[in-house]
Amino acid sequence: MRRHIKLILGLFLLLSLIWVPVSSTEATAQSQTTVIPQAYRGSWFQPEFLQYRVKMTATTFTFGGGYYEHEHWQPHNQVTYRLSFHVTAGTFTWGKRNARGYHSVKVQGGIFYVKENRGTLFVKQIRQGHDINGYDLTFNQIPHAAQVLSGDVH
């Protein structure tokens, strides 16, 4: 009987030694970032007929279409997420840079991968494990975007 108790205690100790490191890596797998890095902040545009914009502040991530009219942004299918430690409706987590230089922006229902390189923002949009565009979307910061994209600059 005493041998069974020692065996059970040994098994419990072994499981606790395995369980603690596994659970601690799961906790650190979520974003521990409290702000988006400065290099990513601002409005990034992909000018076309219906322009797409990525806007990042210290704690928000906005992605969607729209256009400028009289120097005011008119959103179309645009979603804004708030930075959080766990993904829930309306929130996102900011992940560490991966081997290819992309940060993960995890939202409910998908992931965006973003990378800034020489003034260009590259974005991959992943839904259900697939890149929905098949290529990187490219965005640029445009000085005086409201005036330039409204067509109000002479």
**Beta-carbon contacts of residue 82 (< 8 Å; ≥ 6 apart):** 59, 60, 90, 91, 92
As given in the structure block, the two tokens for residue 38 are 């400065």
Helix/strand/coil percentages in the chain, nearest 5: 25, 45, 30
pTM of the predicted model as reported, rounded to 2 decimal places: 0.74
As given in the structure block, the two tokens for residue 40 are 């990513």
Query: pLDDT tens digits for 21-51?
Result: 444 444 444 446 789 999 999 999 986 766 8
Query: pLDDT tens digits for 104-144?
Result: 999 999 999 999 999 999 999 999 999 998 999 999 998 88
**Distances 57 to 35, 41, 42, 81, 94 between C-alpha atoms, Å:** 8, 5, 6, 11, 12
Query: pLDDT tens digits for 71-91?
Result: 889 999 999 999 999 999 999
**Distances 130 to 81, 84, 90 between C-alpha atoms, Å:** 21, 24, 21
Assess contact for 50 and 149: CB atoms under 8 A: no
The span from the CA of 144 to the CA of 56, in Å, is 17
